[in-house]
Amino acid sequence: MSNTSPSDTPESSADTPETPGNPDFDAMARDIAEVPAVEVIVTVAVNLMSAAAVKLGLTEEGDKYKDLDEARKLVHALAGLLDASATEISSFHAAPLRDGLKSLQLAFREASLVPDETGQGPGEKYTGPLYG
């Protein structure tokens, strides 16, 4: 049995300031709880688009970070997210995301030394065949 009183114990993690080794998960949960689902979906989609653009070599650095295998995964994940969330987000949000996805799919096809068969490119499982 311990002889310490509650006032003798160290502060709980919720009472301690956030440090690099001690993130404030309660505060993060409260912050995310205030964000509408549509905003979370759109933010994730934009992050996937940005990462795919980098992996496709579409940034100022060009080929420095180009990795088509990684780009394929990101474009495919973006297409799946947009397909799954189509009924949850308005066309106001969905239309520009679909346009961005199509641009990434076309950029992937152009960057590939051996283009995928029509309908077999990244995300085409969800978007249908891409011609162009």
* Per-10-residue mean pLDDT, the chain, length 132: 49 53 80 92 98 97 94 98 94 95 96 93 94 74
Output the pLDDT for position 9.
Answer: 46
Output the pLDDT for position 12.
Answer: 46
Tell me, letter by letter, the H, E, C secondary structure of 57-119: CCCCCHHHHCCHHHHHHHHHHHHHHHHHHCCCCCHHHHHHHHHHHHHHHHHHHHHCCCCCCCC
Residue type, 40: V
Output the pLDDT for position 11.
Answer: 47
Output the pLDDT for position 24.
Answer: 86
Q: Is the pTM of this model over 0.75?
A: yes
Output the pLDDT for position 19.
Answer: 62
